[in-house]
Chain A
């Protein structure tokens, strides 16, 4: 069996003296969607930032069998790791197309043309808006652009931080359809979400984070039926829990 796409072991990270993630371990098999769910402030974003190298961390991050803990963000991008951050971090005063082109900065040349074609195929809306400044887009369009920009780098593992945050339900559905489509095209996905219901529907495996620690994990289908999850994250009472199949 090949090495997992991502293996995180005993990862601890934080800001200053506050440790927002403690001893987190997780694994993400090739070509799967793994989700990390948890309440606001549980440390999910910190976990992704630490895996990406945005903030310093202790512990091991292993990408396809290669340790990347010592590498900077740019080198991790070069190894096929991409983060779509919660705040999107777009280039607001540049056009949609320029944002996308810069997504393929490391690949350059022919990858830009083919990447643009692929991204515009997935997000026709971005094609309509290609000349518009990124800062003037709506919330949903910004999320599409952030995902499109990450896809331009041809990632092998895409990490999405709260892709549904602040979006209208119909757009959330579009975004999750696209996530499923990405998995079908062979991209592995690490999805961090507060919208546990939507995340568990698309994910193969799930982890639950509470107060900086991973407290529960299992196949997404099983967790969806777990009374503790239903009570805490899916928002209806324990009595409504369907028996696990």
Chain B
């Protein structure tokens, strides 16, 4: 181990850490707004990478059909539950939003895929296919039990995770894929060469974190999400629809998940079940920050990334073990140090 190796490991760690930071921040966001510990976050990561890889290979990604199926099932479920009123206008609006729009996206995907679209078009289409899945999953699985306990929501989240992983296997098969980088080549910065894609990861992470900060600090909708997180009853009493804030939180989760997947897709091979492990590392960071603080989550995520890359160097067989073993002392420390907080505390 010399200084050069240490620098390389640091670089690697920070880049992975940036992805974990995005996922960790999303977990905190979803948890504070909806109290769901969003285990399936990793699936959106895997699907982001795999959908992009499918477009690159010139095939229609399975996520297109999944989006349509999810839209239809959710619309039917919402009508049966009475969430969508049985009036012609409401049914028409729901039909356009949940069935026609996904069908149009499927049509676009089927038409464009064989033409091997340029990377940025494939990227945008990937986002268009995956982002709506977040709110749909929320409406289908979590909204009907929005007032249940954190534990019940967590169990539902695990169920959703297994379901989505299984669907991923059906749609993408067991094989892993790698995507082409958004920016190819290597750029020397100071003593270190940086892969173009690594720079993209850092830049996109920075932009997204600043964007999220602006959204939460400067917009009424962002503040409404924060308010829902701080005090659900208070939010409802001022007329903030908590189901809407839930949908928005899940849309952000699927968007950031898919984007993260497209970013890591060229750095590592992604298979249908790879997302879980990546998401879990974001989870370690989110736990370290008590599922509450965004800046702490980012710092912890970078630390997780660096720990992972150094573990890979010194004891590569135990890389994951070391990272996940970290969660035990963290939980012990959290449970001893943090004061107990009630769910609906003022």
Does A7 make an interface contact (CB < 8 A)? no
Is A74's CB under 8 angstroms from B236's CB?
A: yes
Which B residues between 205 and 229 are near A, CB-CB below 8 angstroms?
220, 223-224, 226-227
Which A residues between 82 and 117 are near B, CB-CB below 8 angstroms?
82-83, 85, 87-94, 98, 101-103, 105-106, 108, 112
Is B240's CB under 8 angstroms from A105's CB?
A: yes
Please report the C-alpha to C-alpha distance between residue A78 and residue B238 in the assembled complex, in whole angstroms. Answer: 9
Q: Which 8 A-B pairs have the closest CB atoms?
A: A77-B239, A89-B234, A106-B239, A91-B230, A73-B236, A74-B241, A91-B227, A74-B239
Q: Interface code A204-245, partner B: CB below 8 Å = 1, 0 otherwise?
A: 000000000000000000000000000000000000000000
Please report the C-alpha to C-alpha distance between residue A238 and residue B224 in the assembled complex, in whole angstroms. Answer: 52
The 5 sampled A-B contact pairs (Cβ below 8 Å) are A74-B236, A74-B240, A89-B346, A92-B346, A94-B223
Is A82's CB under 8 angstroms from B237's CB?
A: yes
Chain B: minimal CB distance from A101 (Å): 6
Residues of A within 8 Å of B226, CB to CB, are: 91, 94
Is B224's CB under 8 angstroms from A102's CB?
A: yes
Contact residue among A74, A90, A108 (Cβ-Cβ distance under 8 Å from B234): A90
Is A93's CB under 8 angstroms from B230's CB?
A: yes
Q: Interface code A21-54, partner B: CB below 8 Å = 1, 0 otherwise?
A: 0000000000000000000000000000000101
Is A102's CB under 8 angstroms from B238's CB?
A: yes
What is the predominant secondary structure among interface residues of chain B facing chain A?
helix
Does A149 make an interface contact (CB < 8 A)? yes
Residues of A within 8 Å of B230, CB to CB, are: 91-94
Chain A: minimal CB distance from B228 (Å): 9
Is A153's CB under 8 angstroms from B233's CB?
A: no
Please report the C-alpha to C-alpha distance between residue A178 and residue B346 in the assembled complex, in whole angstroms. Answer: 25
Residues on A lying within 8 angstroms of B by beta carbon are 52, 54, 73-74, 77-78, 82-83, 85, 87-94, 98, 101-103, 105-106, 108, 112, 149-150, 152-153
Residue of A nearest to B244 (CB): A74
Is B220's CB under 8 angstroms from A102's CB?
A: yes
Does B231 make an interface contact (CB < 8 A)? yes
Please report the C-alpha to C-alpha distance between residue A82 and residue B227 in the assembled complex, in whole angstroms. Answer: 17
Is B224's CB under 8 angstroms from A92's CB?
A: no
Please report the C-alpha to C-alpha distance between residue A52 and residue B224 in the assembled complex, in whole angstroms. Answer: 20
Chain A: minimal CB distance from B226 (Å): 6
Residue of B nearest to A90 (CB): B234
Is B231's CB under 8 angstroms from A89's CB?
A: yes
Contact residue among A78, A85, A98 (Cβ-Cβ distance under 8 Å from B237): A85
Contact residue among A85, A94, A153 (Cβ-Cβ distance under 8 Å from B239): A153
Please report the C-alpha to C-alpha distance between residue A106 and residue B240 in the assembled complex, in whole angstroms. Answer: 7
Is A153's CB under 8 angstroms from B238's CB?
A: yes
Is A149's CB under 8 angstroms from B238's CB?
A: yes
Is A88's CB under 8 angstroms from B346's CB?
A: yes
Which B residues between 98 and 156 are near A, CB-CB below 8 angstroms?
none
| In the complex with contacts A94-B227, A101-B220, A102-B227, A89-B237 CB distance below 8 A | yes
Please report the C-alpha to C-alpha distance between residue A105 and residue B227 in the assembled complex, in whole angstroms. Answer: 11
Chain B: minimal CB distance from A105 (Å): 5
Is A102's CB under 8 angstroms from B223's CB?
A: yes
Is B346's CB under 8 angstroms from A85's CB?
A: no
Residues of A within 8 Å of B240, CB to CB, are: 74, 102, 105
Residues of B within 8 Å of A153, CB to CB, are: 238-239
Is B220's CB under 8 angstroms from A108's CB?
A: yes
Residues of B within 8 Å of A94, CB to CB, are: 223, 226-227, 230
Which B residues between 293 and 346 are near A, CB-CB below 8 angstroms?
346
Please report the C-alpha to C-alpha distance between residue A54 and residue B232 in the assembled complex, in whole angstroms. Answer: 11
Contact residue among B233, B235, B241 (Cβ-Cβ distance under 8 Å from A85): B233
Residues of B within 8 Å of A106, CB to CB, are: 238-239
Contact residue among B220, B231, B346 (Cβ-Cβ distance under 8 Å from A105): B220
| In the complex with contacts A77-B238, A92-B346, A105-B233 CB distance below 8 A | no
Chain B: minimal CB distance from A91 (Å): 5
Is B224's CB under 8 angstroms from A77's CB?
A: no
Residues of B within 8 Å of A92, CB to CB, are: 230-231, 346
Is B233's CB under 8 angstroms from A89's CB?
A: yes
Is A90's CB under 8 angstroms from B223's CB?
A: no
